[in-house]
Amino acid sequence: MSKQEYTITVYTENQVGLLTRIATIFSRRKINVDSLNTSPTEVEGIHRFTIVIDEAEEVVRKLVRQIEKQVDVLRAFYNTGEEIVWQEMALYKVPTDEIAEKVKVERLLREHGARAVVIRKDYTVFETTGHREETDNLIKVLAPYGLIEFVRSARVAIIKASSGFHAMLREFEERDPGEGIAENEYLAQNQQVFAM
């Protein structure tokens, strides 16, 4: 079984302790997480985990099934890079004197889609978004000028073919408050809507 990069998207209710339970699933299987992001979705009370791993598809399929068995998980998907739109954000801190003297800053920013977010006498912080290769490339460009610090965010991703699930989430939001208890049961009855 050959490994490749997969992005796992998990839609959940916002419950304390869920992150720990999901992390335990990965650690029991000895699977390293390359990137993890959590954020609210467009539906109030529903959160989204975006998890990046490098693993064989069969392992990922079993992992997603196990994640979906968690009580507060509404649905989980796994996708390859071609099936999602994704970005990461990166920040770079460099000495202001070095960058101002040796590099034409405007050209550098334009070439790498970066912008200055903080300019101080002692350092300048640049920000850019893109795929891992793009943010790594700017590290190489800035390293000779005294790169002081670098940090990259976790991946944020949108599944290209997930309109069916988003429509269901909107239905949950529009329901009467007393109907909320039946949400997981409703999801189970309508699994075919979520097929990718």
Query: Does residue 26 carry a pLDDT above 80?
Result: yes
* Residue 172 near residue 44 (C-beta atoms within 8 A): no
Per-residue tokens: 40 = 């609210």
pLDDT in tens, 55-114: 999 999 999 999 999 888 998 999 999 999 999 999 999 999 888 777 777 787 788 899
Q: Do domains 3-79+162-194 and 85-152 have the same CATH topology?
A: yes
* Residue 81 near residue 6 (C-beta atoms within 8 A): no
Residue 71 is classified by DSSP as T
Number of H helices, E strands in the chain: 7, 9
φ, ψ (nearest 5 deg) of residue 150: -140, 140
pLDDT in tens, 42-53: 888 889 999 999
CATH number of 3-79+162-194: 3.30.70.260
Average of per-residue pLDDT values in the chain:
84
Domain assignments of the chain as residue spans, ordered by start? 3-79+162-194, 85-152
Rounded Cα–Cα distance for residues 86 and 89 (Å): 10
Q: Which fold has domain 85-152?
A: Alpha-Beta Plaits (3.30.70)
Q: Residues near 13 by Cβ (< 8 Å), separated by ≥ 6?
A: 45, 46, 47, 72, 74
**Helix, strand, coil percentages for the chain (3-state, nearest 5):** 40, 35, 20
* Residue 162 near residue 49 (C-beta atoms within 8 A): no
